[in-house]
């Protein structure tokens, strides 16, 4: 039988790790909401400038402009997807060590 991959430093279980997305979902949401608010604010500003005849009234915001404001959220989400982290499958703690490391073997012997 193959030795499991990780040992948890919190609950002392030794098993295969669970892979989860790195980073935080709240940051992605904040970047999306912030981008949408900035996009709307920029649109309001453009409308006011057009109404004051300082810019062409045909200036409109479209999908490319929206993507400029939302791009940071997409970039962050992609980086989260490509940088998953290993956590304990039991308690979801990220405080894990390889099971075949000296510290992992010490924990297994102590808590077996």
Neighbours of 60 (CB within 10 A): 11
Q: Which residue has the tokens 């919190």?
A: 10
What's 86's DSSP letter?
Answer: E
Q: What is the mean pLDDT of each run of 10 residues along the chain (112 residues)?
A: 71 86 88 87 83 74 78 90 87 87 86 74
Gap between the Cα atoms of 101 and 106, Å rounded: 9
Question: Mind listing the pLDDT tens digit for each residue in 67-84?
Answer: 888 889 889 999 998 988
Q: What is the pLDDT of residue 39?
A: 84
List the beta bridge partners of residue 52: none
The domain limits of the chain are 1-21+84-112, 24-83
């Amino acid at each position: 039988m193959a030795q499991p991959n990780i040992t948890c430093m919190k609950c002392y279980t030794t098993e295969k790790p669970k892979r989860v997305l790195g980073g935080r979902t709240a940051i992605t949401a904040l970047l999306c909401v912030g981008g949408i608010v900035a996009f709307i604010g920029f649109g309001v500003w453009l409308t006011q400038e057009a109404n004051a005849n300082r810019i062409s009234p045909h200036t409109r915001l479209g999908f490319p402009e929206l993507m400029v404001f939302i791009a940071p959220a997409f970039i962050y989400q992609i980086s989260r997807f490509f940088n998953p982290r290993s956590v304990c499958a039991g308690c979801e703690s990220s405080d894990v060590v390889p099971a075949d490391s000296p510290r992992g073997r010490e924990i297994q012997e102590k808590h077996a």
